[in-house]
Structure 1
Amino acid sequence: MHRRRRTALVLSAAIVAAAPLLTGCGSEAHPGAAAVVDGRRITVAQLESRVNEVRSAQRAASKDDAQYEQVIANTGTLTRDTLHGMVLDRVLDRAAKNAGVGVTRKDSQQMRAALEQQAGGSEALEAAWLTNYGVAPQRLDDSLRTEIEARKLASALGADMNTTDGKAAFWKAMSAASKQLDVDLNPRYGTWDVQKSSRVDAKTPWLREVTATGTQQTA
């Protein structure tokens, strides 16, 4: 499974960090919440559960402790990236709703079948998504739904994602959706910076996320 096979519309943290997208002040603490989107909380417990799913899958896929430790070192921003993805899922849902876009179960089944054929089976596809995109096997169908939703949104907008204008139209719709949802991060996970078009880590020396380099960066 290669990255080039994944659609250009993937809403991974790495791609979103380079695209005009979200607004959100992140100025108020929300006890127990990692983020608040449209008045609905993404709780710290929900975030930790998602991260643990990935870590458990990574551990099971590692041949020994040394390999697992290397995997952890290479994915030191997993918690922030996971939250980023959870927020983006909700933003994409709103943008799709605004455009009258929907995804059916058949859509997801067809895409999964095609990708499994390319990857060499279900397990191979799950392993590729875990390694390349930090998606736990039990979240693969959700990830594929996001892929399809993004593609359909671009189509509904008449946005060719191979062109500058097409990308601008897509991210404009996403930005409008995020404003409607009033995205707000718990400061411990950073803020949304419109000028820099990415999530920005909060500069709080008393709060650290252990990484291979001992630094906090946006993946």
Structure 2
Amino acid sequence: MIQARSVRLAAVIVLGGAVALATSACGGPMQAGAAAVVQGQRTTDATVQDQVASIVSLVQHNNLQQGDVTDEERSALAKAQINLLVQQAVWQKVADDNGVKVTAADDAKEHSALVEQARGSLQGTKFTGSDNEAVALADAESQQNSSGLAPSSVPVYSHIQALVTAVIDDQATKLRVDPNDQNSLPALQGAILPMLSKASTQIDVKISPRYGSFDASTRQVVAAQTSWIRPTKAQVAAAAAAQAQQQQSQ
């Protein structure tokens, strides 16, 4: 994951464990061709496969990985795209329940900060891609902390960050603590974790078992041991061509 820029956003690292609870709401029949349906919004298998292809193309084009991507890696990347949508739904529910509003300007501010941080980390490289590709590549370069972001998922990630910031600021005001003070974290976590847990039981989430399962003992989404997500050479080539076209338009 791209490093948090402040104590306030660092709280999401600790609070993020509760986000996995949202997947406990999954189940029920899936529509044909659907990877997930989150709060009524359907994400198709084709969309997830294209997202995985775009990540594969990005990391290979920038020499972060040589050779084929393993089944385990594909499975993790596919799960990451679904998990991002679930995280967004959980934080949106918490924000809505508390009357917290996030504007387009808030999203743009978070996106701009992520882009600035990402391009800063890529200085000294020959990367000339789009802003979203820069954020995705910087995320991929973080290796063990990688969120598995596809370029097309960056706006969702930015919105989640905006929601997190708004919710933490709202609770900090109510608790009369400084959201940027490390000593405030226990109080903020104590207030927000129950909200995340409650929201996770109330959102409507259906996830195809092909993308993994929910492990109640660890409260984590466990990716399938094998992955049927195998972007073809044509898909990876198409993703590479799209990225090259964006670079030329910069």
TM more than 0.5: yes
Percent identity, please: 27
The 5-angstrom pairing of residues 141-180 of structure 1 reads: 141-158=155-172, 163-180=185-202
Change (3 A) 1:145 1:32: same
Deviation for aligned residue 1:9:
4.6
Contact preservation (8 Å) 2:21, 2:197: yes
Matched, 1:46 2:56: no
Deviations 1:34-56 (A, max 9, x none): 22323443222222232223223
Deviation for aligned residue 1:15:
7.4
Deviation for aligned residue 1:147:
0.8
Change (3 A) 1:174 1:105: same
Moved more, 171-180 or 107-116: 107-116
Normalization by structure 2: what TM-score?
Answer: 0.62
Deviation for aligned residue 1:138:
4.3
Aligned residue type for 2:37:
V
Deviations 1:79-137 (A, max 9, x none): 11221112222222222222222222322333344455555375765531343333234
Aligned residue type for 1:175:
S
Measure, in 2, the Cα distance between the counterparts of 1:100 and 1:106. 18
SS in 2 for 1:62: coil
Aligned residue type for 1:190:
G
Aligned residue type for 1:69:
G
Measure, in 1, the Cα distance between the counterparts of 2:151 and 2:60. 13
Measure, in 1, the Cα distance between the counterparts of 2:159 and 2:93. 14
Measure, in 1, the Cα distance between the counterparts of 2:42 and 2:111. 30
Deviation for aligned residue 1:173:
1.8
SS in 2 for 1:42: strand
Aligned residue type for 2:66:
Y
SS in 1 for 2:101: coil
Deviation for aligned residue 1:190:
2.6
Larger helix percent? 2
What residue ranges of structure 2 are gaps of 5+ in the alignment?
Answer: 124-130, 230-250
Matched, 1:8 2:5: no
Change (3 A) 1:37 1:58: same
**How many residues are paired up?**
201
Aligned residue type for 2:32:
P
Change (3 A) 1:38 1:138: closer
The match for 1:127 is: 137
Measure, in 2, the Cα distance between the counterparts of 1:116 and 1:8. 18
Measure, in 2, the Cα distance between the counterparts of 1:83 and 1:186. 10
Change (3 A) 1:169 1:28: farther
Matched, 1:58 2:59: yes
Measure, in 2, the Cα distance between the counterparts of 1:186 and 1:30. 9
What residue ranges of structure 1 are gaps of 5+ in the alignment?
Answer: 212-219
Measure, in 1, the Cα distance between the counterparts of 2:162 and 2:223. 30
The match for 1:85 is: 84
- C-alpha root-mean-square deviation of aligned residues, in Å? 3.7
Deviation for aligned residue 1:144:
1.9
